[in-house]
Chains A and B, each alone.
Chain A
Amino acid sequence: MINESGAQNGYVTLVKLENVSKHFEKLNIFNDLSFEIVAGQSVALLGPSGCGKTTLIRMIADLDDDYTGKISRNYRKIGYVFQEPRLIPWKSIYDNLRFVLEDDEKINEALKIMKLDGFQDYKPAKLSGGMRQRVNLARALLDEPDLLLLDEPFTSLDLHTKLSIIEDILEGRNQRTFSMIIVTHDVREALLMADRIILLSNKPTRILEELDVSQVPKDIMNAEFLKKESEILNTIVRRWSEV
């Protein structure tokens, strides 16, 4: 019971990976990966493209059970912001949200928070990429998850939309505390959203370094933020070249 052992130390562990390995045919994707996510924490898994970050987050969400080792899950509900919005094309935005939770009050509130009120009757194809991703996020936050998983959710979005959605997520987190795991290859996204960054290597993926960034101001115009971003970039260049 991971929460009991965690609780003894004054924290609750939501997800714990112990010696997780995954192979795809002869390709070794992960080798003995171990880490844990504590309740209330926001963790970024930062790694190069193709290192298996999405596979890892899918395994945490129990969408992929083809691995060895142990993943203990202690969350009650999760929200998952997929890389692509994954909305039901023939259903309106409202009905897409209703598909996961039949609570009109919460749906209307989520639409309002995500600046989607007025678009509830639109089908996904009528919305811009940014708006579809907002629906994806609204759906993830709708049922008040204790763990929010974000799988490179800003890949196809412009900077303005990306920053605006990040702001919405952080705002949502201020209103109601939930833990986050964000998968990204973008240092800035990781710094903006995470308290802790787990730096991953290329395949076979292993943890290169863990960075505490909880004290870094979440403002891209802040000098300290920019300094830390530059430091992490240097670390990445150094560590990835070592592997």
Chain B
Amino acid sequence: MPTGVKYVIGLIAILLIWAVVSLIISSDLILPSPVKVIGTIFSELSQQRTWEALGTTLAKVGIVMLITVIFGVFFGFLIGLNDTLYDIFRPAILIMQAIPIITWLALVMFIWGIGWTGPVVVSILALIPQTILSTAIGVRTTDKRLTEVAKVYKVRTGKVIRDIYFGSIIPQIIGAIQVVIGNVWKVVVVSEYMCGDDGIGVLIAWARQSVAANRVYAYTFIVITIGLIVENSVHRYTKKILEGWEAA
């Protein structure tokens, strides 16, 4: 059976289970029926505010991705090349990685209050340690035998960085991008929910205040769908890049 068909069967099964459970519970406040949620999705998508909120969330996701990957890879590369820098920064990065998002949210709210900056900063702080560490580990695990070849033949440092180090960390960078893209939506929406002034997270917060569970589900569904589309596109694109760096 083709994979696509299996996916459709899986989705239909989820919808059926959802419909049955919502019938059993019979409370729109806890679990509205799939029909009701799908209806809400269409009605929300016909409204300008939904598209504006989506655009804002997407912009934040893009900015977070860009800063996290560029700065994370650059910094990771730098500390990966130098044992002392790695030993100095590693504990701080590990601590950053262990800090719960909620702590960052509280701190960011103290500093910037409710607004656009908070969700972006929180998301970057939550996601960047993984990118830095992946890149640094990639650099540190670069095959030293190859760098010895470069030393014997007096190859330029720039070329060694480009052809050996960068080549070695490409799989780690792509792995890190995939981890970031898989989490960035969740982190941005949660941050918007807690300290944002616009975006899908804020719409979810308003829906919760209005006790409109069907809208909460509808927005979540929209975020999941767009998140999956973006993740899939990035995955396909990065897979293509990776093919060029594979050993055979």
Interface positions of A (Cβ within 8 A of B): 61-63, 78, 80, 82, 84, 86, 88-91, 99-101, 123-126, 139, 143
Contacts and interface: CB of A to CB of B under 8 A. Distances in A.
Nearest to A124: B247
Given A63-B152, A99-B159, A88 B146 contact: yes
Given A82-B145, A88-B146, A90-B167, A99 B155 contact: yes
7 contacts: A62-B151, A63-B152, A80-B153, A86-B148, A90-B245, A90-B246, A100-B153
Contacts of B159: 99
Given A61-B152, A80-B152, A86 B146 contact: yes
Given A86-B145, A99-B149, 11 more contacts: A63-B152, A86-B149, A88-B146, A88-B163, A90-B167, A91-B167, A99-B153, A99-B155, A99-B163, A139-B149, A139-B153
Interface of B: 145-146, 148-153, 155, 159, 163-164, 167, 170, 244-248
A125 B247 contact: yes
A103 to B, nearest CB: 13
B167 A100 contact: no
Choose among B145, B153, B170, B248 the residue with the greatest number of A CB atoms under 10 Å from its CB.
Answer: B153
A86 B146 CA distance: 6
A91 B167 CA distance: 9
A202 B151 CA distance: 29
A63 B151 CA distance: 8
Q: When A and B form their complex, which 7 residue pairs have the shortest distance between CB atoms, in order from nearest?
A: A125-B248, A89-B247, A100-B153, A90-B245, A125-B247, A80-B152, A86-B145
A97 to B, nearest CB: 10
Contacts of A143: 153
Contact of A123 (B149, B170, B248): B248
B248 A100 contact: no
B175 to A, nearest CB: 16
Nearest to A99: B163
B164 A126 contact: no
Given A88-B167, A90-B167, A100 B244 contact: no
Contacts of A91: 163, 167
B247 A90 contact: yes
Contacts of B153: 80, 99-101, 139, 143
A100 B155 contact: yes
Contacts of B246: 90, 123
A147 to B, nearest CB: 11
Contact of A82 (B149, B167, B248): B149
